[in-house]
């Protein structure tokens, strides 16, 4: 464990990193904030919670349709609504603050077992990663995962090193992490693994503390389960073991195959590229650096395990998550935030292992990478191509500010007659696909009615959102253009080979 005092140069660098992180996350938040239908669904649930006083025990449906996320995101949103009003930007400020705190704690916690320089490298990478910044600007489950995962890994490291660890906290923080994303389920195996590394016998008091931590952390789901008829066949545990068996016995989509291996690998490369700025060359260099850390870890594995070094926990965490991605057969963007903290700590530790002659040039290179990442995110509008044309060939996803402009135009068109919301194109099959607009329209007192004016939101492979009030005009990127509805439908269909 390192000294609690930081040198002056380190404090100044850390303050600079925090300043950059804050600027990237808060600057023009309304115009950059992602606000999709699933978020709108949680916003509506939070508003209902405030109005009716009824507390939901589950959140939105997960990627496995019969299972649902925990309700903590809805609760946090409702808390913001209660004290600061129903403006979505206020919830965005909470999400961005969570990301900023995570950047700070990556350094503060990391410096206790890394060098000052290594902890600063880790903090710098998280501060400027385009994917991390984008996640912080999207007030949804993923925005809080880096901070909660940091608490979980911190509790595990404490459990590994403390003379008398309290196993309540690792169990509790895993339960909270699970509330935000069901895909973090495999990380629970780190608790028995860390306990095993300590070579201790499991006493009844330890078991009670860990069990209590799980009960408190998983409280909402446990209450919900006891309030509903229970079936083991429909439980997450049964699904887990089914997928585990199917991986080695099934030849179908749930079984192991080269296509599955290649698909998940491609997804990991894609998400990793986004995390490090979307540049393939830069991503390859970072991958080589991460690989160097893997070699150093393998060479020092016996020493690391013998002396209870925290990198054992970080290495196990990364391994478990990557293995789970291959086992599940998919890597959605929502799964990746659980890797943010362990990956940047791994980078910092790898930097610390390098020879002194390499460290300084690499530190300059990593600083250059951070500057590149910050500029990339700032100039790209957040991982989406800037609208540079008025044609349907532009890749453009409206952010909250543009959605409010669209809602304002709808209000001007329909006045107080109400609306009938309709959607067409990819994603329209999901029940929540229009909930972001439902929430924003509701803020202006516009309600849905079967007698209201029909309003279409058309989605295509190129034009992500098109607003249409009648059959002859639509809104796209601030410009109203004449086009028949049927012609646009045909355009969407041709893009998807329908």
Q: Is residue 2 in a domain?
A: no
Tokens of 351: 């930097």
Contact 483, 474 (CB under 8 A): yes
* Residue 481 reports pLDDT greater than 70: no
By C-alpha distance, which of 86, 123, 87 is closest to 102?
A: 123
Instruction: Identify whether residues 299 and 213 lie together within a single domain.
Output: yes
Instruction: Identify whether residues 200 and 265 lie together within a single domain.
Output: yes
Instruction: Identify whether residues 105 and 207 lie together within a single domain.
Output: yes
By C-alpha distance, which of 114, 131, 128 is closest to 346?
A: 114
Q: Is residue 1 in a domain?
A: no
Q: Which residue has the higher pLDDT, 20 or 362?
A: 20
Rounded Cα distance between 238 and 340, Å, is 29
Q: Is residue 392 in a domain?
A: no
* Residue 416 reports pLDDT greater than 80: no
* Residue 485 reports pLDDT greater than 70: no
Instruction: Identify whether residues 156 and 259 lie together within a single domain.
Output: yes
Instruction: Identify whether residues 139 and 36 lie together within a single domain.
Output: yes
Q: Which residues contact 259 (CB under 8 A, 6 or more apart)?
A: none
Contact 183, 69 (CB under 8 A): no
Instruction: Identify whether residues 408 and 359 lie together within a single domain.
Output: no
Q: What is the pTM of this model?
A: 0.81
| Per-residue confidence (pLDDT) for residue 242, from 0 to 100 | 55
Q: Is residue 443 in a domain?
A: yes
Q: What is the mean pLDDT of residues 309-317?
A: 84
Q: What is the mean pLDDT of residues 414-423?
A: 73
Instruction: Identify whether residues 376 and 445 lie together within a single domain.
Output: no
Quote the number of domains for the chain: 2
Instruction: Identify whether residues 333 and 464 lie together within a single domain.
Output: no
Q: Is residue 115 in a domain?
A: yes
| Per-residue confidence (pLDDT) for residue 387, from 0 to 100 | 31
Q: Is residue 480 in a domain?
A: yes
Rounded Cα distance between 473 and 480, Å, is 6
| Per-residue confidence (pLDDT) for residue 70, from 0 to 100 | 80
Q: Which residues contact 114 (CB under 8 A, 6 or more apart)?
A: 2, 122, 345, 348, 349, 352
Q: How confident is the model at residue 295 (pLDDT cuts 50, 70, 90)?
A: confident
Q: What is the mean pLDDT of residues 118-142?
A: 88
Instruction: Identify whether residues 99 and 205 lie together within a single domain.
Output: yes
Q: How confident is the model at residue 426 (pLDDT cuts 50, 70, 90)?
A: low
Q: How confident is the model at residue 249 (pLDDT cuts 50, 70, 90)?
A: low
Q: Is 203 helix (H, G, I), strand (E, B) or coil?
A: coil
Instruction: Identify whether residues 308 and 244 lie together within a single domain.
Output: yes
Instruction: Identify whether residues 292 and 246 lie together within a single domain.
Output: yes
Determine the structural domain holding residue 56 and report its residue range. 8-380
Question: Among 25-29, 218-222, 390-394, which is the least confidently predicted range?
Answer: 390-394
CB atoms within 10 A of CB 152: 31
Domain's final residue, options 345, 380, 415 = 380
């Amino acid at each position: 464990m390192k000294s609690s005092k930081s040198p002056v140069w380190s404090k100044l660098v850390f303050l600079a990193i925090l300043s950059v992180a804050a600027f990237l996350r808060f600057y023009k938040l309304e115009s950059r904030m992602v606000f999709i239908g699933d978020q709108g669904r949680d916003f509506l649930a939070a508003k209902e919670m405030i109005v009716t006083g009824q507390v939901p025990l589950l959140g939105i449906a997960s990627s496995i349709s019969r299972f649902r996320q925990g309700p903590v995101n809805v609760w946090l949103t409702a808390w913001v609504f209660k004290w600061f009003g129903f403006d979505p930007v206020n919830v965005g400020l909470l999400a961005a603050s969570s990301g900023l705190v995570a950047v700070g704690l990556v350094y503060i916690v990391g410096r206790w077992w890394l060098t000052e320089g290594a902890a600063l490298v880790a903090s710098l990478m998280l501060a400027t990663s385009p994917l991390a910044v984008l996640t912080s600007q999207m007030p949804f489950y993923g925005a809080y995962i880096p901070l909660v995962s940091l608490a979980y890994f911190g509790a595990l490291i404490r459990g590994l090193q403390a003379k008398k660890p309290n196993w309540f906290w690792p169990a509790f923080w895993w339960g909270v992490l699970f509330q935000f994303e069901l895909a973090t389920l495999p990380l629970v195996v780190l608790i028995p693994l860390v306990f095993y590394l300590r070579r201790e016998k499991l006493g009844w008091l330890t078991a009670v503390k860990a069990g209590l931590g799980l009960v408190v952390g998983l409280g909402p789901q446990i209450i919900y389960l006891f309030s509903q008829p229970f079936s083991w066949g429909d439980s997450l545990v049964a699904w887990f073991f089914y997928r585990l068996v199917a991986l080695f016995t099934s030849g179908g989509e749930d079984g192991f195959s080269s296509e599955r291996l290649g698909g998940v690998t491609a997804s990991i490369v894609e998400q990793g590229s986004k995390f490090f700025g979307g540049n393939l060359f830069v991503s390859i260099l970072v991958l080589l650096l991460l690989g160097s850390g893997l070699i150093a870890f393998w060479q020092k594995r016996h020493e690391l395990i013998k002396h209870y070094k925290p990198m054992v926990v970080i290495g196990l965490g990364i391994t478990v998550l990557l293995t789970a991605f291959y086992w599940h057969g998919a890597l959605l963007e929502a799964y990746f935030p659980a890797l943010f903290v362990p990956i940047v700590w791994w980078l910092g530790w790898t930097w610390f292992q390098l020879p002194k002659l390499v460290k300084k040039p690499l530190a300059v290179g990593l600083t250059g990478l951070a500057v590149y990442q910050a500029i990339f995110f700032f100039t790209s509008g957040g991982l989406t191509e800037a609208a540079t044309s008025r044609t349907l060939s532009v890749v453009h996803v409206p952010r909250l500010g543009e959605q409010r402009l669209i809602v304002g135009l709808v209000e001007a068109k329909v006045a107080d007659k109400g609306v009938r919301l309709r959607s067409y194109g990819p994603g329209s099959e999901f029940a929540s696909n229009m909930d972001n607009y439902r929430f924003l329209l509701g803020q202006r007192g516009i309600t849905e009615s079967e007698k209201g004016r029909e309003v279409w939101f058309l989605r295509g492979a190129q034009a992500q959102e098109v607003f249409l009030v009648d059959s002859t005009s639509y809104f796209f990127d601030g410009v109203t253009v004449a086009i028949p509805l049927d012609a646009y439908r045909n355009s969407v269909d041709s893009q998807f080979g329908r």
